[in-house]
């Protein structure tokens, strides 16, 4: 069954809100979201601030690609976000390694993986897309490319993240933390772009790369249809190319909500090892309809229109 926009509102719980403007709150968030009215969605409630920045960029008449880059940079710069950029939890060796990807409305894509000591992987991913014939650069090569293009090397391991690593090292406790930012935006020209940025799984094996830089896994955009992003355990997303799957289901006529549910249900049926694992998807179609669904409880996401900037808690399969 397809969810109407109104039904989506009723089935989601609003858990945070900050008005962008002094206008009164619309009784139906999505009634005001028509073509050519910008919209931004992203994973996780703390990214309301990143959505607000992305919307500012869109309202200035800039492209959805600019909005994605500027919005995600807010999260990458936040030392208190321990899953993205500065302050990201390091790998098993105490080294912060970053993955990111970006995609525009023409199907162009760029990504970086295992990037170290560069604050804004999303910007490097954009440069890979715009300045090279390649889609992905990794590790030392990605860093060399970034430095050649004016990025500075800096230490991204904060005291807090280092302390967390020392504690983990002494006890080798199993930890779960996946707060990857995935963002989708439609601009005034009705063009959609998407992006993802993360420091990946906490205390991962040195060299581990997740789903974030894999186009079609953590993020996919088709400007005729819509886009999808993921957060959670990247290994489970990479095996199923979840974001590509969701966009293809929307192409078949599924609503974003039903497409996200389809991808999670398919994942659920394909394996039986979900202890300590969560996977969540967020999708946006070209009509401005939003869908979100998670394997387990706790996934929050942000929806920002010209009127409102709100977060919601997603429904999940394994209750």
Active site residues: 180
Q: Maximum CA pair distance of the chain?
A: 54
Q: Does 180 participate in binding ligand GLY (rule CB under 6 A)?
A: yes
CA distance 319 to 312: 17
Q: Give the count of beta carbons closer than 10 Å to the beta carbon of residue 132.
A: 12
Q: Does 201 participate in binding ligand GLY (rule CB under 6 A)?
A: yes
Nearer to ligand GLY, 29 or 86 (CB): 86
- CB of residue 264 to ligand GLY, shortest distance in Å: 15
Closest CA to 283 of 232, 215, 222, 233: 222
Nearer to ligand GLY, 50 or 180 (CB): 180
- CB of residue 82 to ligand GLY, shortest distance in Å: 13
How many residues touch ligand GLY under the rule CB under 6 A: the total is 13
- CB of residue 267 to ligand GLY, shortest distance in Å: 13
Could you tell me which stretch among 54-62, 186-194, 219-227, 232-240 binds ligand GLY (CB under 6 A)?
232-240
Q: Does 210 participate in binding ligand GLY (rule CB under 6 A)?
A: yes
Q: Does 194 participate in binding ligand GLY (rule CB under 6 A)?
A: no
Q: Does 233 participate in binding ligand GLY (rule CB under 6 A)?
A: yes
Q: Does 232 participate in binding ligand GLY (rule CB under 6 A)?
A: yes
Q: Using the rule CB under 6 A, which residue among 43, 82, 101, 212 binds ligand GLY?
A: 212
Nearer to ligand GLY, 178 or 310 (CB): 178
Reported for 267-270, long-range contacts at CB under 8 A and 24+ positions apart, including other chains, are: 267/236, 267/240, 267/242, 267/295, 268/295, 268/317, 268/318, 270/239, 270/240
Q: Does 211 participate in binding ligand GLY (rule CB under 6 A)?
A: yes
Could you tell me which stretch among 11-19, 60-68, 209-217, 247-255 binds ligand GLY (CB under 6 A)?
209-217
The torsion angles phi and psi of 56, rounded to 5 degrees, stand at: -55, -45
E strand spans, the chain: 13-17, 39-43, 98-103, 109-115, 136-138, 181-186, 192-198, 219-222, 226-232, 279-285, 290-294, 300-304, 309-313
- Whether the CB-CB separation of 193 and 105 falls below 8 Å is answered with yes
- Within its chain, how far is the Cα of 142 from the centroid? 21
DSSP code of residue 317: S
- Whether the CB-CB separation of 247 and 222 falls below 8 Å is answered with yes
Q: Does 195 participate in binding ligand GLY (rule CB under 6 A)?
A: no
Residue number closest to ligand GLY, CB atom: 210
Could you tell me which stretch among 28-36, 158-166, 193-201, 264-272 binds ligand GLY (CB under 6 A)?
193-201
Nearer to ligand GLY, 115 or 218 (CB): 218
- CB of residue 131 to ligand GLY, shortest distance in Å: 25
Nearer to ligand GLY, 6 or 239 (CB): 239
Q: 138: exposed, middle or buried (C-beta count within 10 Å: 0-12, 13-18, 19+)?
A: middle
Nearer to ligand GLY, 177 or 306 (CB): 177
Q: 141: exposed, middle or buried (C-beta count within 10 Å: 0-12, 13-18, 19+)?
A: middle
List of residues contacting ligand GLY (CB under 6 A): 178, 180, 198, 200-201, 210-212, 218, 231-234
């Amino acid at each position: 069954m397809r969810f109407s926009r109104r039904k989506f509102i009723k089935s989601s719980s609003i858990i945070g809100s900050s008005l962008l403007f002094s206008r009164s709150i619309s009784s139906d968030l999505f009634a005001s979201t028509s073509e050519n009215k910008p919209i931004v969605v992203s994973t996780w409630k703390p990214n309301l601030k990143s959505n607000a920045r992305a919307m500012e960029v869109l309202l200035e008449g800039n492209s959805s690609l600019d909005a994605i880059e500027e919005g995600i940079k807010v999260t990458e710069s936040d030392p208190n976000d321990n899953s993205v950029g500065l302050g990201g939890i390091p790998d098993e060796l105490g080294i912060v390694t970053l993955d990111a990807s970006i995609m525009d409305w023409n199907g162009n894509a760029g990504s970086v993986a295992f990037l170290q000591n560069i604050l804004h992987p999303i910007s490097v991913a954009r440069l890979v897309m715009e300045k090279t014939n390649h889609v992905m650069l990794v590790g030392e090569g990605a860093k060399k490319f970034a430095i050649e293009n004016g990025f500075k090397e800096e230490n991204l391991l904060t005291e807090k993240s280092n302390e967390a690593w020392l504690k983990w090292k002494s006890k080798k406790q199993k930890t779960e933390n996946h707060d990857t930012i995935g963002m989708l935006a439609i601009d005034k020209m009705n063009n959609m772009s998407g992006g993802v940025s993360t420091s990946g799984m906490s205390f991962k094996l040195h060299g581990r790369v997740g789903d974030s830089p894999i186009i079609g896994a953590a993020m996919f955009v088709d400007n005729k249809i819509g886009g999808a992003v993921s957060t959670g355990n990247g290994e489970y997303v990479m095996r199923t190319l979840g974001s590509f799957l969701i966009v293809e289901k929307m192409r078949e006529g599924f609503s974003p909500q039903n497409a996200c549910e389809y991808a999670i249900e398919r994942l659920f049926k394909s394996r039986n090892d979900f202890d300590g694992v969560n996977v969540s998807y967020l999708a946006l179609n070209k009509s401005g309809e939003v869908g979100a669904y998670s394997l387990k409880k706790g996934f929050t996401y942000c929806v920002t229109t010209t009127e409102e900037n709100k977060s919601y808690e997603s429904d999940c399969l394994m209750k």
